[in-house]
Structure 1
Amino acid sequence: MKNLILGLLFMATSYTYSQHSITGTVHDEKTGEPVVGASVFLQKPERGTITNFEGEFTLSDVAEGRFNLIISSLGYGTRTIRIIIPLDEDLAILLSPTAIEMEEVIISTPFHKLQSENVMKVERATVAELNRTGAVNLSEGITKIAGVETVTTGAGIGKPVIRGLSSNRVLVYTQGVRLENQQFGDEHSLGISSSGTESVEVIKGPASLLYGSDALGGVLYLNPERYAPSDSTAVDAGAVYFSNTLGVEANAGFKTSGEKLKFLLRGNYATHSDYETGEGEKVTNTRFDELDLKAGLGYRNDDYKGDLRYNLNSSHTGIPEEIGDQTSSKDMMAPYQSVQNHILSLDNSFYFDDSSLDVKLGYLFNNRKEYEEEHEEDHEGETEEEHAGHEEGEPALKMHLSTFNYDLNYHFPQKGKFETILGIQGMYQTNENLGEEFLIPDATTKDIGILATTHYHLEKIDFQGGLRYDHRNINGQAMGEAGSEEFISSLNRSFNSYNGALGVKVDFTSEFTGRLNVATGFRAPNLAELTSYGSHHGTNRFEIGNPDLENEQNYQLDLALEFRNEHFEIFTNAFYNSIDNYIFLDPTEERIDENPVFEYVQHKARLYGGEAGLHIHPHPLDWLHLESSYEMVIGKQAGGEYLPLIPAHSVLNTFRVEFEEQDWIKDSFALLSLKTVFDQNKSGSFETETSGYSLLNAGFGGAMKFNTTTLELQLSGNNLLNKTYISHLSRLKPDGIPNMGRNISLKARVYL
């Protein structure tokens, strides 16, 4: 026992004396003046500080090892430097002045680098930036990102579209885990609130190497709200009013952090009436409400970082069918959905001398109910026993989807200029029907994937590549009465795929960068595509699945060029995407339950296009911004027919002013934007052409400081000219129902 105690004391003493400090200075590269208030952030383990009036900083109690140090300050280019502890001397860091916004670390890619250091181009925007023009929800906000659109069913239902691909071809990540909420349904919403979401990252193109099946078209990665800085507490509350839907949104948050332990809590409630078109008509049953609660508990020391998060999102969303009763009521009317999403995640990082292990665990529970209109004639000829399963007030459709997923990545010690990651990911999922009706059977889905990826860094060239193997098994039970039209046979299918990616980034000069990426991706058919047999009320069609469908498999070539200096930035991004066994719905000439019948079929498809943009910020007028972006995508089947639900070409022009911070006001801005959408005359076989339109949007706001209290005010307007238009990606287009007219929003928030 005595020897054990002495041994423990020796280990503790050794650990204490193995701690070191990082000290240094940060100066302006051109003037030599100290940079005051610069952020100095140690990436792993996470720890940060800011420079004093002399540009000096100190980070204490740092263990021996190799670390990345990220230095950033508004008005300067962000730098990443590799250091070895213990240091031989103090650091002397120089930052170059720039009018470009301060860079952030990209979380959705495996090596967590700055965008300027990434081999793969990733678009990033904060939710605050996306909401400056008064977006009603997150799905609408992300359409401000070039190459990203949304398929809508009214104002409350929206699904992301990345370069013409959507639904199960775009994987959504939140709290570090993949979102599973029956996303195969075209009339199913995203199920995530912008409340408590700090930023959005978009990977455009196949990301199966990193995320497996369903990332064939890209990834929408949502970063949660950060904790308060160490030894601080923050409280905020606010509200937003939307004129078009007579909508009200209330939000409040509390967060506090010690040196190691952190906690946050945020709640949000929104309610909206039916939206009004540019012609002044309300679109019946587009009303919706949403309750969102988020909580987080974090812990951090030199060897470990843990982040436990929980999110409850509960919504009621009307399913519109026509322009009928004109009412401002917010009460639900059938048909409508009632959906609850529970997301529990645990993000762990274990830090060793020169390596680290990331372990992410997630449990998701989706409780989906759909309520139908009651019609007496629907049940004529049925016995009491035949109609007993669906009582008045009970949901016709009720499904429980439970998902457990895991993601383990080991970061090997850096060898020279090589960084390497070996990972394993998996998912166990069950679907259970509890209602009278069913669209897909009770089923179990099992996923497992193994990946390896490496990054090789030279002074002006970076390479990144990797390989991955995936296996998915879907086991579905027989549903319904054998011999009846509604009967679904049992299903046991396995899908396998090998995929890879290779990319290179070249810094031709300090201002001109090029990226070339080639990647393959795959998507296993989902339960709906394999087994569906029933009417989808949100899309007004009868869908029939195909149990013999094979993997979708694609490859994409992506070329990105970017030039930036202190006066302007210009970029162009071109892609070519070839997909074998592309799955889509093909109309037949039949009708069932008064709905047209669509069957799932497969053909080869290809999509191509890209984005281009310009951002002018003339120096020294750094407060002035002129931005323009153009996006296009064309999708065709092998026979030459166009693919459905491909967004029209569009241009977004924005004039933005960001005022200089004063003693009593900060973050003040004003913007005016015009989005021009061209005619979509390259429509699918069962679509009609769509006329183009232009939407004028504006917004301005700022935050006023009163001692320790800050009041933020923002006034925004969408479709200011009250244009009557129909989006090609609107599910209400076949019924001739226009999109939302003018909407003015007023936001107020108090920070204590």
Structure 2
Amino acid sequence: MKNILCLLAVFLLYTAASAQNSLIGKIASKEKNQPIPATVYIPQLEKGTAADFDGNYKLNNIPDGNYNVVFSSLGYATISKKISFSNNQEITENLQLEESAVEMEEVIVSTPFHKLQSDNVMKVERVSTEDLNSSGAVTLADGIKNIAGVDLITTGTGIGKPVIRGLSSNRVLTYTQGVRLENQQFGDEHGLGVNEAGVESVEVIKGPASLLYGSDALGGVLYLNPEKFAIGGETHADLSSTYFSNTRGTSTNLGVKTSGEKLKFLARGSYSEFSDYKSGADYRLTNSRFNEKDLKTGVQYLGTKFKSTLRYNYNRSNIGIAEEVGQQTRSKSLELPFQEIDNHILSFDNTVFFNNSSLDIKAGYLFNDRREFDDDPATAALRMKLNTINYDIKYNLPELGKFETIIGLQGMFQNNKNEGEEILIPDANTTDVGVLGTSHYHLEKLDLQAGIRFDSRKIESEAARNPLEDDFIPALDKTFTSFTAALGAKLGLFENFSTRINFASGFRAPNLAELTSNGVHEGTNRYEKGNENLTNEQNFQADLSLEYRNEHIELFANGFYNAVNNYIFISPTDETIDDTQVFDYLQNDAMLYGGEFGFHLHPHPLDWLHLESSFETVTGKLSNDDYLPLIPANSLRNTFRVELNDGKLRKNSFAFITLENTFDQKNVSNFETRTGGYSLLSAGIESSFQIQKVLLKVGLNGTNLTDKEYVSHLSRFKPDGIFNIGRSINVNLKIEI
């Protein structure tokens, strides 16, 4: 023990005595040389500052190393510069920013080299949670369906599962607080389990990301960035509340954060409550009500040799299980049957800085406690406890010329335990191990990125139920392995025009439900039979992205072709058990293809005027030409938006009107029916006012303003002919100090 204490004392003394670098300078506009109070931020350190009104800035306590420093301000083009720090240097960096009608760029966190989107080889969609809420989204899942190429499988307004280019469930991996989210996501009626409060932005990788994240990232990744800590020396607090007329729902959250030079802290709590939603046909779907409590907190320490961030999130969701249009009520009290779900997420993110390299060590512990109450509100008929420990170790090697290289080790230990009478999947342990290497090569007009990875997943399940009964589930012991690789290039051969070409392979090991199910799944009203002989899904996807932008217009076209070998799907049989139709899990090769196309018009000098349009399409087929189930219909989205950012009292304002046209879905699987098209109109207005040190934001928006009667093809209530949510007028108020 004495030796350990001595070593710790020496380490602390070494840290205290280590060199502290600083960055100083002045930021001005290129056109008029006027000072700009821009933001200076180092993403890898999560450290930043704001220039004063004279454009002067200073950033202290920077560890030795090479970092991308991002300079940004509203109305100006963002600049990212690689700067080397060592030996107690004070580096001066004076910059001139060019005026730009293009919105400020942000650093993409979900890809390994943390670059601006304009420098990223892989096309990643990024949107702030604030923008999603301003569009009238009820939940975080509800908001992400506004991103081109992303849709949602819904169970009312309380449950939504993301769909990326036609792939969903365990084929889409969700990351939050830097760790993979595990919450029994195999179920159609299992939602995200993450509240939008305390989530700063959402990044979507559309395509295989197994190289970076392993199994379950075959279809893409939904990456939730937690809110940033306050700038050093500042303390902030905010309170916001939103009212939704359709469900008479309210969502309120309160946050506070404070930062010193090295130590930072934040905390945020929220509560949401909704009654049954009313459809465009003027009836309410009985027991579609839900409520949610959420707490997020975090602490961060940044020294001259290491950075540590500890975050914790607790979420309690109570969700009614809607079955029919029954008693019409505006009550928010849950009725039987309902789900009660607890999610605990603890993440510990550490970075050790060396002179010209760094080591990232992330660890996460997640506990998901899912309970379903059928007849007795005091006793759960189904209760599944899921404990997950995952880790992610990456070493950023010293740069070799134009090469940046990362090698890594990732893994997961997971235990599923049943404590209820009903059993969907047996008690089981899952162990993942993956090793990877990836490199980025940068030239003036060309960026290349490549990588390779090997994964192993071992699933061990226990036997369940009586061996003499038909619903017996035998024990299982299987191991799945896979090699995956990716190669991509970004070319800027012509002025204002860029091209991205990416080739990537991905894989997904079968989940427990697909391997071991043998019984009625109440949430889907199916008798599901698993198949222990299922093998890996393995895919290869080619992406082509074209983008043109100038001071007046941005044009984009993204196309993809995705070939999936041994695609796993559930198929109905002629057999019935206990008056319930039996469904089997089968495999066949499949292909998906389509893309997203659109433009953004912002004519200069009318920079306050924006016209955005996007079209998305995806087709999914099995090798026998049967269509895949749960493929989103083609859609066209047009938005007219006005933004005003000047004024002493009124800091900024915007107004928008959006028309979303969803076309007929005629390409349906054997057990689906066609879905008619529909058009939804939404609009909103928001303004913020600076009153001394208080910022007040007031917003009003409406969704489905024409109160359209419609059914989404991806609604789980479609077979029952139940319409989606009707008109909702929403009012939000936010106070920041």
- What range is the shorter-chain TM-score in? over 0.9
CA distance in 1, matches of 2:18, 2:249: 59
The counterpart of 2:704, out of the listed 716, 719, 733, is 719
Matches for 1:95-494 after TM superposition, within 5 Å: 95-372=97-374, 374=375, 393-494=378-479
CA distance in 1, matches of 2:48, 2:241: 32
CA distance in 2, matches of 1:444, 1:506: 45
Matches for 1:562-577 after TM superposition, within 5 Å: 562-577=547-562
Closer, same or farther in 2 for the Cα pair 1:355/1:34, shift >3 Å?
Answer: farther
Question: Residue type matched to 1:153 in 2?
Answer: T
Shift of 1:64: 4.5
Cα deviation, 1:546-603, whole Å, max 9, x if unaligned, reads 1110000000000000001111100000000000000000001122233221110000
Shift of 1:26: 2.9
Which 10-residue stretch deviates more, 231-240 or 287-296? Answer: 231-240
Matches for 1:520-599 after TM superposition, within 5 Å: 520-599=505-584
Closer, same or farther in 2 for the Cα pair 1:304/1:34, shift >3 Å?
Answer: farther
Count of residues in correspondence between the two structures: 728
Aligned residue number for residue 29 of structure 1: 30
CA distance in 2, matches of 1:565, 1:356: 37
Check whether the contact 2:63–2:353 (CA below 8 A) recurs between aligned residues.
Answer: no
Corresponding residue SS for 2:504: strand
Matches for 1:591-630 after TM superposition, within 5 Å: 591-630=576-615
Cα deviation, 1:307-331, whole Å, max 9, x if unaligned, reads 1111111011111111111111112
Aligned residue number for residue 385 of structure 1: none
CA distance in 2, matches of 1:431, 1:215: 21
Check whether the contact 2:23–2:91 (CA below 8 A) recurs between aligned residues.
Answer: no
Closer, same or farther in 2 for the Cα pair 1:14/1:732, shift >3 Å?
Answer: closer
Question: Residue type matched to 1:82 in 2?
Answer: K
Cα deviation, 1:116-148, whole Å, max 9, x if unaligned, reads 000000000000111112111111100110000
Shift of 1:393: 3.6
Cα deviation, 1:600-652, whole Å, max 9, x if unaligned, reads 00000000000011100111111111000110000000000000000000011
Shift of 1:54: 4.5
CA distance in 1, matches of 2:15, 2:695: 47
TM-score, scaled to structure 2 = 0.96
CA distance in 2, matches of 1:345, 1:624: 42
Closer, same or farther in 2 for the Cα pair 1:664/1:607, shift >3 Å?
Answer: same
Corresponding residue SS for 1:144: coil
Closer, same or farther in 2 for the Cα pair 1:648/1:56, shift >3 Å?
Answer: same
TM-score, scaled to structure 1 = 0.94
Corresponding residue SS for 1:363: strand
CA distance in 2, matches of 1:435, 1:652: 45
Check whether the contact 1:522–1:552 (CA below 8 A) recurs between aligned residues.
Answer: yes
1:510 and 2:512 correspond: no
Shift of 1:441: 0.3
Check whether the contact 1:536–1:542 (CA below 8 A) recurs between aligned residues.
Answer: yes
The counterpart of 1:687, out of the listed 661, 672, 681, is 672
Aligned residue number for residue 380 of structure 1: none
CA RMSD of aligned residues (A): 1.9
Aligned residue number for residue 81 of structure 1: 81
Shift of 1:464: 0.1
Corresponding residue SS for 2:284: coil
Check whether the contact 1:580–1:603 (CA below 8 A) recurs between aligned residues.
Answer: yes
Question: Residue type matched to 1:346 in 2?
Answer: F
Shift of 1:486: 1.6
Question: Residue type matched to 2:114 in 1?
Answer: H
Corresponding residue SS for 1:734: helix
Closer, same or farther in 2 for the Cα pair 1:514/1:316, shift >3 Å?
Answer: same
Cα deviation, 1:228-287, whole Å, max 9, x if unaligned, reads 221121122122111111112221111111111111111111111111110100111111
Aligned residue number for residue 386 of structure 1: none
Corresponding residue SS for 1:669: strand
Which 10-residue stretch deviates more, 236-245 or 38-47? Answer: 38-47
CA distance in 2, matches of 1:585, 1:659: 51
Closer, same or farther in 2 for the Cα pair 1:44/1:634, shift >3 Å?
Answer: closer
CA distance in 2, matches of 1:561, 1:109: 19
CA distance in 1, matches of 2:103, 2:632: 29
Shift of 1:16: 5.7
Give the unaligned 5+ runs of structure 2: 1-5
1:744 and 2:722 correspond: no
Closer, same or farther in 2 for the Cα pair 1:168/1:13, shift >3 Å?
Answer: closer
Check whether the contact 2:240–2:735 (CA below 8 A) recurs between aligned residues.
Answer: yes
CA distance in 2, matches of 1:64, 1:441: 50
Check whether the contact 1:34–1:53 (CA below 8 A) recurs between aligned residues.
Answer: no
CA distance in 2, matches of 1:614, 1:59: 38
Corresponding residue SS for 1:129: helix
Check whether the contact 2:411–2:431 (CA below 8 A) recurs between aligned residues.
Answer: yes
Cα deviation, 1:709-736, whole Å, max 9, x if unaligned, reads 2222111101000000000000000000
CA distance in 1, matches of 2:340, 2:239: 27
Closer, same or farther in 2 for the Cα pair 1:750/1:415, shift >3 Å?
Answer: same
Check whether the contact 1:208–1:214 (CA below 8 A) recurs between aligned residues.
Answer: yes
Aligned residue number for residue 3 of structure 2: none
1:41 and 2:26 correspond: no
The counterpart of 2:637, out of the listed 652, 672, 696, is 652
Closer, same or farther in 2 for the Cα pair 1:329/1:19, shift >3 Å?
Answer: closer
CA distance in 2, matches of 1:654, 1:69: 33
Give the unaligned 5+ runs of structure 1: 375-390
Check whether the contact 1:123–1:201 (CA below 8 A) recurs between aligned residues.
Answer: yes
Closer, same or farther in 2 for the Cα pair 1:255/1:17, shift >3 Å?
Answer: closer
Question: Residue type matched to 2:389 in 1?
Answer: F
CA distance in 2, matches of 1:281, 1:97: 51
Cα deviation, 1:15-51, whole Å, max 9, x if unaligned, reads 86944443333333344x0441122223444432333
Closer, same or farther in 2 for the Cα pair 1:267/1:44, shift >3 Å?
Answer: closer
CA distance in 2, matches of 1:272, 1:63: 48
Question: Residue type matched to 2:164 in 1?
Answer: I
CA distance in 1, matches of 2:704, 2:90: 60
Shift of 1:539: 1.8
Cα deviation, 1:646-704, whole Å, max 9, x if unaligned, reads 00000110011111231112231111000000000001110000000000001111122
Closer, same or farther in 2 for the Cα pair 1:174/1:42, shift >3 Å?
Answer: closer
Closer, same or farther in 2 for the Cα pair 1:13/1:676, shift >3 Å?
Answer: closer
Aligned residue number for residue 731 of structure 1: 716
Cα deviation, 1:407-457, whole Å, max 9, x if unaligned, reads 011000111100000000000000000001101000000000000000000
Identity, % of aligned pairs? 54
Closer, same or farther in 2 for the Cα pair 1:527/1:625, shift >3 Å?
Answer: same
Check whether the contact 2:49–2:232 (CA below 8 A) recurs between aligned residues.
Answer: no
CA distance in 1, matches of 2:308, 2:682: 41
Question: Residue type matched to 2:279 in 1?
Answer: T
